[in-house]
Chains A and B, each alone.
Chain A
Amino acid sequence: MSKEPFVVSLAYRLGSSDKYTNYKLFFHNLLNNNTYRYKKYFDVGMIVLILISVGILVYDVTNNPNPTLEFLNNIIITIIFAIEYLLRLWLCSDSSKILIDSYRRDALLKRPFRLHVAIVEIVLSKLKYMITPTAIIDLLAILPFFHALRALRLFVVFRILKLFHYTQNMHHFAQILSTKKFELYTLLTFVGLIVFVSSIIIYTMEARNPNGSIRTLFDAFYWSIVTMSTVGYGDVAPISSAGRVVAMVVIMAGVAVLAFATSIVVSAFTQKLDDIRQTRVLQKAKKLQNLYLICGYTLLSAQCADELRKLKRSVLILEDNAQRASMARIDDHLVLELSASSLLTYDMLGVDLLERTSSALLLADSDVENVYTALTIRSLSTKLNTLSILKEKRNRKKLLLAGSDRVVYTEELLAQLSHKHSTNPQAYEMLHSLRVVDSKITAGEIVATSSTVLAQIEQSRHSVIVVGVYRRGRFIFNPDRDLEIEIGSRVVIIAHTLIIEDLQRSLA
């Protein structure tokens, strides 16, 4: 094989360079990745520059140009916008990849490398970006000659349109309207037709009337649009009877157009609102750390989510049933209307979601669904701790086989509770009160950071009952205060809530 041309070697070197890749990734995240933590700061910075730029334009209208402000606007801000434009142009396509692909294609077909084809391909890919509306706006906002001529300074307003880049809501608005392209084109054609026909008719009827205000075709167009929009300034109006008949028709058409336009926008919003909400939740979910993933929203899920929220834990609910998902939203939880048993859901949430998850709670009302979800989660992560609710006792083994680390059978739990309440009602009620969140006296845990934590608790002189020490599934009841325990063990104590909090802080 012949030696690679220099440009191809360069493309290979760039492609394999960590530094280059990292830079490219950094700028990609900064400009295009809405989940990137620093993007919002960049966006806010650009919005501020746009507002300063427009502010200077407004100031210049009635004041003499200030040299400092002019320098800031024409040089500094323009350079920043130009750099941003060039970065976007750089990121819009991977030139190295295009070059390498073209080289490999030619090598495979055993023909000489056609550099010009690759260059055309690269230029076309850049042009494809350059003719997009946002790129055109960006370019118009930076082209310096607009600022050189005073009349063209108005083009600074293009900078306002740049706000589309930095505000999600504007993006959503544009996306929503783009779903109704056909309806909007139809409306525009209808409006155009009415304006054209009515302008011509009114012109022919009014232009020769010496007392009329419609003298030119422009007047006719102006009147037509003002009338159709139902604004009706009244500065230009038909005076002949025939002209007034036309006006009546145009007014009625205008009302119809407005109603049609409103219905298009409203229906587009209604259809897309759920998608927008979902996207927002998705973005929020991608930022959460140590979250609890609750699969299925039932009464039990609602209670668990509330309890976890009281402990200031992040909770994300996956529920594909629209009604239940809506209930979760009403309860003010972060909810995605997606199936917990679908791999697609986890693809959407990002590959690292399960790594950021403390535990997955499979709380759907059906064992079949929970088994399916357990298997889905297990296929993605073998480490994630999963806890599943069991509805039918006979399915316990299936849930364990599917990968649930822990299975909770509520009937068994309630039977044990009922038994204890029946045999030792007062004792159990007193013990149970220790688990109630709002109790004054409660049971808590202290993680041992020292082997002599029991002696330290004793020395604190607080009124505390040390119930036991837990380590790796083993519970030592009523330990001796001199007992040296393994660091990381958990000490179960009963005390006033404030004392527990104080000990947790002081012994941490």
Chain B
Amino acid sequence: MSATIVIFGYNELSKEIVSTMREQGEAICIYCFSDDEFQSATSEELEIYRVEVDSNFDFLRELDIKRCRFLCTIDDEAKNLFLSLSLRDLLGDNAHIIALATTAENALKLRLAGASIVVAQIQSAANTIVHLLEYPALSCFFEKILDSSDSLQVAQVSISGESKLLGSDLCRLELDGVIVLGVIRHERSEQLFVVEIDSYLLCENDTLILIANQSDLEQIR
């Protein structure tokens, strides 16, 4: 079951996000903070609500929090910060909040405000530009991963109690056409790359991180 993406703010960046996610058939819901944004989103036939940034957001409690991803994309970074803090306060630790920041300084503040993931806009763009110039092969690889229309994907597979992979040694795991990147250990929420360990036995609720083409991934799932 795919997640519902809840986007706060409707600006150029949000429009681009909406366009990307619509192509993938994701369920999207937008909360905007000005009449202009509201009219602009309405004309695009989106599910949109007009709210104020300092409202109590109680209506969000009706959503299935675990299935939602909250994207804070307001242009005003102070408001974005306030919003992230409000969401964390309201929705608790289970909410997955993604916030966009321009500078590294604001990224740190957003993390402190409770954002699960902060995408530092300037740093990400600079990283991409420098990679394009210095590491064309790496850039090509990351572009393919980012491009939703490309078959190459990075995926996360949760190890359930009935999984055949339960108890397998991560470092000796061989899956056809698939590169095993590592695992997120459920117990400690810790990232482990295959290349940094000699052995690790997969446990229930661990998350396996794989890179593969779409068709090979579907077979694994």
A487 to chain B, nearest CB (A): 14
Which residues from chain B contact A465 at a C-beta distance below 8 Å?
179, 181, 194-195
Among B5, B196, B209, point to the contact of A431 (Cβ < 8 A): B209
By beta carbon, the residue of chain B nearest A464 is B195
User: Would you call B26 and A423 a contact (CB within 8 A)?
Assistant: yes
Is there an interface contact between A473 and B148, defined as CB atoms closer than 8 Å? no
Residues from chain B with Cβ under 8 Å of A463 in the complex: 194-196
Q: Is B136 in the interface zone, CB < 8 Å from A?
A: yes
Taking the complex as formed, is B55 at the interface, i.e. its CB lies under 8 A from any CB of chain A? Answer: no
A304 in contact with B129 (CB, 8 Å)? yes
> Is there an interface contact between B154 and A428, defined as CB atoms closer than 8 Å?
yes
Q: Digit string of B73-102 for contact with A (CB within 8 Å is 1, else 0)?
A: 100000000000000000000001010101
- If A303-B122, A416-B146, A430-B181 touch, whether A359 touches B138 (CB-CB below 8 Å) is no
**Residues of the A chain whose Cβ atoms lie less than 8 Å from the Cβ of B73:** 418
A residues near B194, Cβ cutoff 8 Å: 463, 465
Mark contacts of A6-31 with chain B using CB atoms, 8 A cut-off: 1 yes-contact digit, 0 otherwise: 00000000000000000000000000
How far apart sit A266 and B170, CA to CA, in the bound complex (Å)? 71
A295 to chain B, nearest CB (A): 13
Residues B141 and A468 in contact, CB atoms below 8 Å apart: yes
Q: Are B213 and A477 in contact (CB under 8 A)?
A: yes
Selected from A414, A425, A428, the residue in CB contact (under 8 A) with B16 is A414
A425 to B144 Cα, complex, angstroms = 17
Q: A292, A421, A464, A495 — which one has the most chain B CB atoms within 10 A of its CB?
A: A421
- Docked Cα-Cα span, A422 to B21, in Å, equals 10
Contact A426:B127 (CB < 8 A) given known A416-B147, A490-B136: no
Q: Given A311-B134, A431-B154, does the pair A441, B196 have CB atoms closer than 8 Å?
A: yes
Bound form: Cα–Cα A425–B207 in Å: 11
Determine which of B15, B122, B133, B191 lies in contact with A387 in the assembled complex, contact meaning CB atoms within 8 Å. Answer: B133
Cβ of A92: which chain B residues have Cβ within 8 Å of it? none
Interface string of B121-150 (1 = CB under 8 A from A): 111111111111111111011101111100
| Given A411-B16, A414-B13, A421-B119, A361:B2 Cβ within 8 A | no
* A299 / chain B contacts, CB cutoff of 8 Å: 102-103, 122
A473 to B143, CA, bound (A): 12
Q: Answer yes or no: B20 CB below 8 A from chain A CBs.
A: yes
B100→A494 contact, CB < 8 A? no
B16 touches A412 (CB 8 A): yes
Chain B residues with CB under 8 Å of A352's CB are none
Shortest beta-carbon distance from B142 to chain A in Å: 7
B141 touches A467 (CB 8 A): yes
A399 in the interface, Cβ–Cβ < 8 Å?
A: no
Contact of B191 with A433 in the complex, beta carbons under 8 Å: yes
Question: When the two chains form their complex, are residues A422 and B71 in contact, meaning their CB atoms are under 8 A apart?
Answer: yes
| CB proximity of B18 to chain A, nearest CB, Å | 8
A275-294 to B contact mask, C-beta < 8 Å, 1/0: 00000000000000000100
> How many A residues, CB 8 Å from partner?
65
Q: A419-B148, A425-B116, A433-B191 are in contact. Are A389 and B125 (CB under 8 A)?
A: yes
Contact with B along A421-439 (1 / 0, CB 8 A): 1111111111101010000
A474's nearest neighbour on chain B, judged by CB, is: B140
B131: chain A residues at CB < 8 Å are 435
Give the chain B neighbours of A470 by CB distance below 8 A. Answer: 136-137, 140-141
Chain B residues with CB under 8 Å of A427's CB are 154-156, 181, 207, 209-210
Given A416-B20, A425-B116, answer yes or no on A292-B127 (Cβ-Cβ < 8 Å): no
Is B29 located at the chain interface by the 8 A CB criterion? no
Binary contact track A226-268/B, C-beta < 8 Å → 1, others 0: 0000000000000000000000000000000000000000000
Residue of A358, A492, A499 most packed against chain B (CB within 10 A):
A492
B209 touches A475 (CB 8 A): no
Query: Chain B CB within 10 Å — which of A387, A465, A473 has the most?
Result: A465
Q: B46 in the interface, Cβ–Cβ < 8 Å?
A: no
Given contact pairs A423-B26, A429-B117, A410 touches B125 in the complex (Cβ within 8 A): yes
A478 within 8 Å of B by Cβ? yes
Chain B, 168-179, contact with A by CB distance < 8 Å: what is the 0/1 string? 000000000111
**A420–B17 CA distance with the chains assembled, in angstroms:** 11
Residue A325 is within 8 A (CB to CB) of chain B in the complex: no
- Whether the Cβ atoms of A411 and B13 lie closer than 8 Å is yes
A62 to B96, CA, bound (A): 87
A495 and B125 contacting across the interface, CB-CB below 8 Å = no
Is A445 an interface residue, CB under 8 A from the partner? yes
In the complex, A287→B133 CA distance in Å?
A: 22
Which residues in B have their C-beta under 8 angstroms from that of A415? 13, 16-17, 19-20
Q: How far is the CB of A369 from chain B (nearest CB, A)?
A: 17
A–B pairs, 23, beta carbons within 8 Å? A292-B133, A299-B122, A300-B122, A303-B122, A303-B123, A308-B133, A387-B132, A414-B13, A414-B121, A419-B26, A421-B69, A421-B119, A422-B5, A422-B98, A423-B26, A423-B69, A425-B96, A431-B154, A431-B211, A463-B194, A468-B137, A478-B178, A478-B212
Q: Give the interface of A toward B (CB within 8 A).
A: 292, 299-300, 303-304, 306-308, 311, 313, 358-359, 361, 387, 389, 393, 406, 408, 410-431, 433, 435, 440-441, 443-445, 463-465, 467-470, 473, 475, 477-478, 490-492, 494-496, 499
- Interface residues, chain B, CB within 8 Å of chain A? 2-3, 5, 12-13, 15-17, 19-21, 24, 26, 69, 71, 73, 96, 98, 100, 102-103, 116-117, 119, 121-138, 140-142, 144-148, 152, 154-156, 177-179, 181-182, 184, 191, 193-196, 207, 209-213
Query: 9 tightest CB-CB pairs across the interface, nearest first?
Result: A470-B137, A303-B126, A490-B137, A415-B16, A427-B156, A422-B69, A415-B17, A416-B146, A307-B130
Question: A418-B17, A422-B5, A478-B179 known; 16 other A-B pairs, CB under 8 Å?
Answer: A311-B134, A361-B129, A389-B129, A414-B16, A417-B124, A421-B117, A422-B26, A422-B96, A422-B98, A424-B154, A430-B154, A431-B209, A441-B195, A463-B194, A475-B144, A478-B212
